[in-house]
Structure 1
Amino acid sequence: MRRAVFACLVAVAAATFGVSGGLPAEAASHTDVLHVAPDGHGTACTTQSPCALDTARDQARKLVPGAAGDVAVELQGGTYRLTGPFRLGVQDSGRPGHPVVYRAAAGQTPVLTGAVRVTGFTRVDAAKNIYRAKVPAGTAARELFVDGVRADRDRGTRDPSGFSVTATGFTTADASYTRWTDPAHVEVVRDSGWKQMRCPLASITPSASGGSDLTVDPACWNSNHTSVPHPGFPFNGAGLPTLDGITWLENAYQLLGTPGQFWIDQNAGYLYYVPRPGEDLAKADVELPQAQQLVDVSGTPGHLAPLNDTDWRAVYTGSWGYSGGRPLGDLNADVHYTSADGDAVSYTFDGTGIQMLSETNDDEGSADVYVDGRKVSTVSGNGPVRLAQQAMVSVTGLAKGTHTLRVVKTGGTYLLVDGFTVIPDAVTPVHDITFSGLTFTGTAWTAPSAAGYIDNQAGVLWDPTTRTPTRIPAALQVHRGQRITFDGDTVAHTGTSGIDLADQTQDSAVTGSTISDTAGTGVAIGEVDDYYQTDPALMTSGNTVSRSVVRFPGQEYADAVGIWVGYSRGTTLSHNDVGYTPYSGISIGWGWGWASDCTLQAKQGLSTPCAHGTSYAGDEHIVGNHVHSVMGALFDGGPIYTLGGLSSPSEFTGNVLAECIDGCNMIYHDEGSSQWNTHDNLVRYGNGSLWVNLWTPSIHDDAIHDNWSDTAAYNNNGTNISFQQATVVDDGNWPAAAQAIIAAAGPGTPPGAVADDDDLRVSYSGSWSSSGSRGVGDLDNGVHYAQHDGASATISFTGTGVGFLTETNSDEGDIGITLDGVAKGTVSAATPERHAQQKLWSVSGLTDGPHTLTVTKLSGSYLLVDGFTLS
């Protein structure tokens, strides 16, 4: 991780010389620059008299119309403590080709944080080494960072024994739980399958048998256990898994005692913490996140979601019928329908546009569309097959105000009404804004503390009140943006997701950035409820994540992924490094088998007639990514996971997919995945995983060819699949074509102090395996290991020194060392007890240039490679 951060800082320094975007030097004179400092004041915004960030934004707003080039807001180094998001609206946009650039001053590191610093710790329990500091009463933070390292809310033993499920929660014969402090803030957590579920408790009371009854908050228990949301296609979610057990209990004073864990007494206003070895709380930087967002870039309108045909504003005149509980994919499983020409539906709304969802089928007919009494079009629902939730009517560009839509049946057997999407404001993206070289940290999201975490899949949740899809908020949130760029930025240590390009954002990018240690998803693109859109202006499209490092997402919400893409068109994920994930690395697509036709759904065993519709997703490009060390906590995912049908062909090529920890499929085209051209990828260290899995007939019309793998195992139950078995390579003897894929993958080789064992610069010869989530202190919590003498690992690097990190233990032996082809003797990894991250051999003072270090197993049961230090 340190090398990635260093690379990001180098990119920051490069970006701050001259004009953002690499314009020629002569263009620099045409850039208006405003200067900002953490303690800035006044309105001068000069180097000598910098202003505050909000002031510079307002000044930039005035400069843009008359600017000859870019307008830059330059942030001096230091910490900018925000209590709420820095907001940019349509009025803060730049111009095409000339963005407003928020950038770091040359050679400096501005940090925007939503955290407050906590001081004044005193030890209150010597036996458990518990310290306490005052915080405001009511503080409900779920995150804490000490000297840049995440602390965990205190938690109990994993998979505690003795609990059984009751009608209201759980019971155990252990009576000690009844003595827990403040049980209403205790949380029960369940990891199961692809989901993590959380619920607060309502109470802990003595059981009739003398033990403890843990009553879960009733609303959360209903949503996570008794009546899990299961709307069916086009939404993901089978209603399973459920909260049917306890993986751990969290957030009680009685659980404190483990170094690196904390608890907050909300009532009294105290933060309790157990320091790790070497932490001095009198000197440590203890950061308690408070703000949910740091940047909000919002165009208009905001989120668009359809309202049901039963909405009170819908007025049906004539002989309309109502049909509920239809298993056909309707919104909320119901429609209004009529067979009489002249019957009409009217809908009065405030806004600038409206869409009406209907159904197409061979028995549907025509309708006239009126707005404010004037006919604007004639539409038809006639089609060869039944398609649910079709945008039959779409009216945009109205003057903002009160309007009435009226749709009159004129032909065919039926007219169906399934829902309405109101467009409240003009479709006006915020556009041409760049953030360059900035660091963002310290966000909080406290909603799960009160309502629980009602998981769907991959960081997409069910709203606890409306039971409609929602997502983990992000530190940097873009709503309806266009040409919004994050270049060379760092997002780290958050209680939220990292960056979210939401609400049909277009032509925007995350490039050369580092997103790490997020509670939720690293980078998210798109939505899950706009599948029906036919208007290009109302689609997520043309977005890119490239040359970026996304590591350690999902640090609180384990279902979250590194990069998530919902419904989108023309998304490119190119040459990123995504790793150390609790669930999948990259998840792209939504809706499961919604777009698969009824024949394919029937082959899968789904109900007939089927829930079948369309989506605008397609033209996706997943190219040259290195995705590794995934599935550290949950099951049924993979390094790159796709689902849902595409409207146009997409490409999946040049990716290196490696180090699955558990419950994995290395290339996982899940339900409904279609039109993928999957070729020239390399799969290794799957630890028993299939190299590709197409498990069901609704996966269709994919081409799988010219891939490389270290295992031959695969599954192909798809339909109309052009399938070619991968070239299987044993013992790491990758031929030149496969080595070229490895060399080209990821964002390039950054300088840095440490290379982990799954770094692309490390090659393994012989029979090797990987092991992650070991919990014994490994670098990035994982190793590669060999059990056969003669197995070797080689790192190729440029520099002046190198050191070898391994584990020592009683089952390890001698290791041969070779530097630049010259033997350098042997070292022993045999010790009576286990010791992690041991530097057994190192050298310095080499000629600055390319070198290779090889370590070879000579004896013992195991050789472990944990990483390399580099100079």
Structure 2
Amino acid sequence: MPTAITPPVARLGLLAAAALVAGVLGAAPATAAPSTTLYAAPTGSGTACTWSNPCSLTGARDKVRTLNNAMTGDLTVRLRGGTYRLTDTVKFGPADSGSNGHAVLYQANPGEHPMISGAIRVTGFGVYDQSKGIYRAPVPAGTASRQLFVNGTRAQRARGPLDPGGFQLSGSSFVTADPSYASFTNPSAVEVVRNNAWKQMRCPLASITATGSGGSSLNVNPDCWRNNNTAVPNPSFPLNGAGLPRLDGVSWVENAYQLLTQPGQFYLDGPAGYLYYAPRPGENLASADVELPVLENLVDLSGTPGHLAPVNDTDPAVGYTGSWGYSSGRPYGDFHDDVHYTTTDGDSVSYTFTGTGLDVLGEVNSDEGGIDVYVDGVRTRTVTPTGATRLAQQAVVSIAGLPKGQHTVKLVKTGGQYLVVDGFTVVPDAIAPVHDIRFSGVDFGYTTWNQPSTAGYVDNQAGVLWDPVTQAPIRIPAAVRVHRGSGISFSGGEIAHTGGTGIDLADGTQNSSVTGNWIHDTSGGGVSLGEVDDFYLTDPARMSSGDTISENTIEHVGADYQDAVGIWVGHGRSQVVSHNDVGHTPYSGMSLGWGWGWASTCDLQSKQGLGNPCRHGTIYSGGNQILNNHLHDVMGVLNDGGPIYTLGGQGGGDGSLTSVLAGNVVSGGNHTNNMLYHDEGSSYWNTHDNLVRFGGQDWMGMWTPTIHDITVHDNYSDYAANNINGTNITFAQATVVAGGNWPPAARAIIAAAGVDPAFRRPGCVVDDDDLAIGYTGAWFASGARGYGDLNDNVHATQTNGDAATFSFNGTAISVLGERNSDQGQVEIVLDGVSKGLVDTSSATRQTRQAIYRATGLGGGQHTVQVIKRSGTFATLDGFQC
């Protein structure tokens, strides 16, 4: 039977077969010497790391450091089952890496399920307010967390109603006639949340005061108000687009004890040391597993150097000799919109730094000339950043391989009209990746992220934010993160119940993979790959490249930060995202690329109405492959995104690299305007052999001239609407198929998309948007309904005779649907034999109902068909064996 959603369980665990994990990662030799196999356990200690005397996780890591200098085979650390409760992040660096081409393997002991947790378990609940059903338990004073999980199910921070209305904006305050807010305790812990278009914005309050008319004034923290309203960061290309929308309304109010009114909600009074919770029906807090996350990050694998960012040309360490000028507020896309320049040959600029390398950012243009480059007083080269088109933020000089220490780089103008200096990026350490470390069958869960509690959530797009102090781009932190990694892999595990993103492969990570995992119930995104601010790189050793995200099931991300996406890829080369199943997201399923129209020429920006001169430079991204993924039931909350969304250039900087978007099936767009969405600046894509069904406004969208050099051909859709307004677009309309009668080539795309059978999660519940279900007729998808459907989505039809067909292996089957006053009769056909009509009408709506069940079936494959016969609607919610 096809894989399906399993009910929430207290224990995390993607039950991957040991043979499969070994096949993905490469198992240690069966006859490995005892010294090559170590053991760790949740209660482990010491340094023996044996079966009978296991180490802790950090103890096993430290033992590896004594064994991995001259490896002759893979070194295996077997993690015994149970929960490894961390009090601090477990860090891995180059010293923990494999050697001689071999890897260090952290594997689940066969048949056991280790889980690495960042939570404390809360006990000692007692009734606090019987009338409201509120219980209270002590926690250590000062505990900070934004998440809580009870028996493996996420609790909701106490909040008011959605879109409450009645709020008027007055300065930096939201004013309402409702007097109750003025009585809230701990008002500085209260947040206002605003969902608007593609963004979510959050701000803590400074205070709540009573108004003279008897209402309440929710007064927003002034720093957060500036970042989210009056001074929204808006550097434009290559870091963001329009900058808007702003925090200009209230979608809900969050985190006050007085808002704790619904079962499944909690309130943490950290300073006082108390956790308040209203249990759901059936939850017994005397025996429940109540997990309060307190760590942001569980495992960190970091090589050197870390994250690299330029310093501006105005930095005090920069020395200018000669007749230099300074120009600010330029419209060309300079770093911080300013440069230093000279027109005099012999003028020089010097920068002294401590590190191993340096990029000098400048400008390529027709009026630039020769530059002599001196390193520590020795002329090493002459460069000439001359080009027919102005390009901003270019690495006109890149120096690498210096011994770590203090160095001085001097540039001397030798020709041309101008020498322009824009900034300097220091490489502080030699490139030394953390490498050849592989995790398999290991689960990660229960983290938090507390920055929004004090500084708010200053959104840009898709989980990329602005630092509330520096206004530099940052991203939602991840439970598992890799910086400057190589040959790192995570496979066959579960990453869930996080306060941020699941896994992040960042800062030039190369040849690493996230394969065959179940990633779900995250506050942020599922998997992030690459960066947004390293677009200018010319050094392949520092680029994100050669990574793979494949065979993962990623669902129910963005539980708190609803702009987050299932898979996010920033700048990168030769990245592969293939055979993933991504569903039930509040915003886009996948977001690929960055930079908006930065890599598009000034004439194309002018055609978009952006004016000329323009912000224009290069992006190193290209040669990426987005293949055979299944994306469904996305865009449940926000707007202006899609199942697959691309942004910015993919030409490798010079148009020589083409990326491929092929073999993907996208369905159930909800608030989607484009199902396949090549957004602003997207370029050099070959988009073919994709299938769109149950879609949004357009099956394909390219709305503006800065989208360019894209070929679209041999796609399939169940509707024809499209929006093609790019430049140099080769567009062939999709083969439009009515009634779900897909031709063989289209059925082959459906069969090949999504997670391959060997990687599917076991279970016997199949959601209505599973690829194994065939719909014929005028069915449509409906998500984010809020009625209690399986995964909050259904398929429905209003046309008698429409059918849904599902084949399975098993001895029993249930058809899940809905009963309601607008429902009628459906006919059930099992293995070609009608089982009669089922009446699904009801005076009240009843969701996730087993409207038909058959048991005692013989072994082998069976086929069940649901056919609408009467009523306004027939609704299908899935199948259960």
Q: What is the match of residue 226 of structure 2?
A: 222
Q: What is the match of residue 167 of structure 2?
A: 163
Code of the aligned partner of 1:697: P
SS in 2 for 1:856: strand
> Does 2:696 align with 1:692?
no
1:795-828 CA-partner distances (Å, limit 9, x unpaired): 1222222111111112212221111111122222
Task: Return closer, same or farther for 1:5/1:570 CA change in 2, 3 Å cut-off.
Answer: farther
Q: What is the match of residue 410 of structure 1?
A: 414
> Does 2:668 align with 1:659?
yes
Asked whether the equivalents of residues 479 and 498 of structure 2 are also in contact (C-alpha less than 8 Å), the reply is yes
1:820-861 CA-partner distances (Å, limit 9, x unpaired): 111122222122211111112122332332221111112222
Q: Distance in 1 between matches of 2:509 and 2:619?
A: 17
Q: What is the match of residue 840 of structure 1?
A: 851
Task: Return closer, same or farther for 1:147/1:83 CA change in 2, 3 Å cut-off.
Answer: same
Q: CA RMSD in A?
A: 1.6
The TM-score normalised by the length of structure 1 is 0.98
Asked whether the equivalents of residues 8 and 512 of structure 1 are also in contact (C-alpha less than 8 Å), the reply is no
Shift of 1:407: 0.8
Q: Distance in 2 between matches of 1:691 and 1:240?
A: 26
Q: What is the match of residue 393 of structure 1?
A: 397
Shift of 1:138: 2.0
Alignment of 1:118-157 (within 5 A): 118-157=122-161
Shift of 1:556: 0.6
Code of the aligned partner of 1:649: T
SS in 2 for 1:160: coil
Task: Return closer, same or farther for 1:5/1:735 CA change in 2, 3 Å cut-off.
Answer: farther
Q: What is the match of residue 524 of structure 2?
A: 520
Q: Distance in 1 between matches of 2:641 and 2:43?
A: 46
Match of 1:669 among 678, 696, 700: 678
Shift of 1:8: 7.2
Match of 1:484 among 481, 488, 491: 488
Larger mean CA deviation between 134-143 and 308-317 belongs to: 134-143
Shift of 1:404: 0.9
Q: Distance in 1 between matches of 2:317 and 2:138?
A: 51
Alignment of 1:293-312 (within 5 A): 293-312=297-316
Shift of 1:664: 3.0
> Does 2:440 align with 1:429?
no
Q: Distance in 1 between matches of 2:41 and 2:69?
A: 25
> Does 2:749 align with 1:738?
no
Q: Distance in 2 between matches of 1:245 and 1:16?
A: 49
> Does 2:855 align with 1:849?
no
Larger mean CA deviation between 847-856 and 189-198 belongs to: 847-856
Q: What is the match of residue 654 of structure 2?
A: none
Task: Return closer, same or farther for 1:70/1:107 CA change in 2, 3 Å cut-off.
Answer: same
Q: What is the match of residue 43 of structure 1?
A: 47
SS in 2 for 1:177: helix
Shift of 1:56: 1.0
Code of the aligned partner of 1:11: A
Code of the aligned partner of 2:700: V
Asked whether the equivalents of residues 683 and 709 of structure 2 are also in contact (C-alpha less than 8 Å), the reply is yes
Q: Distance in 1 between matches of 2:271 and 2:497?
A: 26
Q: Distance in 2 between matches of 1:180 and 1:8?
A: 40
Shift of 1:106: 0.2
Task: Return closer, same or farther for 1:5/1:396 CA change in 2, 3 Å cut-off.
Answer: farther
Shift of 1:353: 0.9
Q: What is the match of residue 472 of structure 2?
A: 468
Task: Return closer, same or farther for 1:620/1:31 CA change in 2, 3 Å cut-off.
Answer: farther
Q: Distance in 2 between matches of 1:394 and 1:534?
A: 8
Code of the aligned partner of 2:676: I
Q: Distance in 1 between matches of 2:709 and 2:682?
A: 8
Q: Distance in 2 between matches of 1:45 and 1:788?
A: 65
SS in 1 for 2:44: coil
Match of 1:829 among 836, 840, 845: 840
Alignment of 1:568-587 (within 5 A): 568-587=572-591
Q: Percent identity?
A: 59
Q: What is the match of residue 595 of structure 1?
A: 599
Q: Distance in 2 between matches of 1:774 and 1:169?
A: 32
Q: Distance in 1 between matches of 2:7 and 2:130?
A: 39
The TM-score normalised by the length of structure 2 is 0.97
Asked whether the equivalents of residues 30 and 69 of structure 1 are also in contact (C-alpha less than 8 Å), the reply is no
Q: Distance in 2 between matches of 1:15 and 1:76?
A: 19
Q: What is the match of residue 724 of structure 1?
A: 732
> Does 2:687 align with 1:678?
yes
> Does 2:296 align with 1:292?
yes
SS in 2 for 1:222: helix
> Does 2:876 align with 1:865?
yes
Q: Distance in 1 between matches of 2:567 and 2:767?
A: 21
Shift of 1:24: 9.1
Task: Return closer, same or farther for 1:769/1:380 CA change in 2, 3 Å cut-off.
Answer: same
1:536-582 CA-partner distances (Å, limit 9, x unpaired): 01111011001111111111100110000001011100000011110
Q: Distance in 2 between matches of 1:838 and 1:866?
A: 8
Asked whether the equivalents of residues 28 and 76 of structure 2 are also in contact (C-alpha less than 8 Å), the reply is no
Q: Distance in 1 between matches of 2:699 and 2:35?
A: 51
Larger mean CA deviation between 376-385 and 205-214 belongs to: 205-214
Larger mean CA deviation between 28-37 and 275-284 belongs to: 28-37
Asked whether the equivalents of residues 400 and 424 of structure 1 are also in contact (C-alpha less than 8 Å), the reply is yes
> Does 2:19 align with 1:14?
yes
Q: Distance in 2 between matches of 1:118 and 1:194?
A: 36
> Does 2:450 align with 1:446?
yes
Q: What is the match of residue 189 of structure 1?
A: 193
Asked whether the equivalents of residues 558 and 583 of structure 1 are also in contact (C-alpha less than 8 Å), the reply is yes
Code of the aligned partner of 2:849: Q
Code of the aligned partner of 1:674: S
Shift of 1:25: 6.2
Q: Distance in 1 between matches of 2:746 and 2:272?
A: 60
Code of the aligned partner of 1:409: K
Code of the aligned partner of 1:739: R
Aligned length: 868
Match of 1:532 among 533, 536, 541: 536
Shift of 1:333: 0.4
SS in 2 for 1:418: strand
Q: What is the match of residue 277 of structure 1?
A: 281
Match of 1:546 among 525, 544, 550: 550
Shift of 1:280: 1.1
Q: Distance in 1 between matches of 2:188 and 2:17?
A: 46
Q: Distance in 2 between matches of 1:25 and 1:449?
A: 49
Code of the aligned partner of 2:255: N
Asked whether the equivalents of residues 15 and 437 of structure 1 are also in contact (C-alpha less than 8 Å), the reply is no
> Does 2:716 align with 1:708?
yes
Shift of 1:28: 5.2
Q: Distance in 1 between matches of 2:15 and 2:565?
A: 27
1:71-115 CA-partner distances (Å, limit 9, x unpaired): 011000011001121111001111364210000000100011000
Shift of 1:139: 2.0
> Does 2:807 align with 1:796?
yes
Q: Distance in 2 between matches of 1:30 and 1:23?
A: 15
- Unaligned runs of 5+ residues in structure 2 are 652-656
Q: Distance in 1 between matches of 2:195 and 2:392?
A: 34
Q: Distance in 2 between matches of 1:29 and 1:814?
A: 66
Q: Distance in 1 between matches of 2:131 and 2:486?
A: 56
> Does 2:767 align with 1:763?
no
1:114-160 CA-partner distances (Å, limit 9, x unpaired): 00111111121222211111112222210000111111101111111
- Unaligned runs of 5+ residues in structure 1 are none
Alignment of 1:211-290 (within 5 A): 211-290=215-294
Task: Return closer, same or farther for 1:651/1:60 CA change in 2, 3 Å cut-off.
Answer: same
Asked whether the equivalents of residues 168 and 175 of structure 2 are also in contact (C-alpha less than 8 Å), the reply is yes
Match of 2:376 among 367, 372, 382: 372
